[in-house]
Chains A and B, each alone.
Chain A
Amino acid sequence: GAGVSQSPSNKVTEKGKDVELRCDPISGHTALYWYRQSLGQGLEFLIYFQGNSAPDKSGLPSDRFSAERTGGSVSTLTIQRTQQEDSAVYLCASSSGSETQYFGPGTRLLVL
Chain B
Amino acid sequence: KQEVTQIPAALSVPEGENLVLNCSFTDSAIYNLQWFRQDPGKGLTSLLLIQSSQREQTSGRLNASLDKSSGRSTLYIAASQPGDSATYLCAGENTSGTYKYIFGTGTRLKVLA
| A51 to B58 alpha-carbon distance, docked (Å) | 31
Q: Which residues of A contact B104 (CB under 8 A)?
A: 42
Chief secondary structure at chain B's binding surface? strand
| A108 to B41 alpha-carbon distance, docked (Å) | 9
The answer to whether A42 touches B105, judged by C-beta atoms less than 8 angstroms apart, is yes
Q: Which residues of A contact B36 (CB under 8 A)?
A: 103
Q: Which residues of A contact B49 (CB under 8 A)?
A: 99-100
The answer to whether A91 touches B99, judged by C-beta atoms less than 8 angstroms apart, is no
Decide yes or no whether B34 CB sits under 8 A from chain A: yes
Q: How far is the CB of B66 from chain A (nearest CB, A)?
A: 14
Decide yes or no whether B32 CB sits under 8 A from chain A: yes
The answer to whether B51 touches A99, judged by C-beta atoms less than 8 angstroms apart, is yes
> Which one, B43, B45, B51, B89, contacts A42 given CB within 8 A?
B89
Decide yes or no whether A106 CB sits under 8 A from chain B: yes
The answer to whether B99 touches A99, judged by C-beta atoms less than 8 angstroms apart, is yes
> Which one, B43, B45, B89, B99, contacts A106 given CB within 8 A?
B43
The answer to whether A91 touches B89, judged by C-beta atoms less than 8 angstroms apart, is no
Size class of A's contact patch? 20 to 34
Decide yes or no whether B1 CB sits under 8 A from chain A: no
Decide yes or no whether B7 CB sits under 8 A from chain A: no
Q: What does the 1/0 interface line of B80-102 toward A look like (CB < 8 Å)?
A: 00000000010101000011111
A38-79 CB contacts (< 8 Å) to partner B: 40-45, 48, 50, 56, 59
The answer to whether B105 touches A103, judged by C-beta atoms less than 8 angstroms apart, is no
Decide yes or no whether A95 CB sits under 8 A from chain B: yes
Q: Which residues of B contact A104 (CB under 8 A)?
A: 43
List 8 extra interface pairs beyond A50-B99, A100-B49, CB under 8 A. Answer: A41-B105, A42-B4, A42-B102, A43-B103, A93-B43, A95-B99, A99-B51, A103-B36
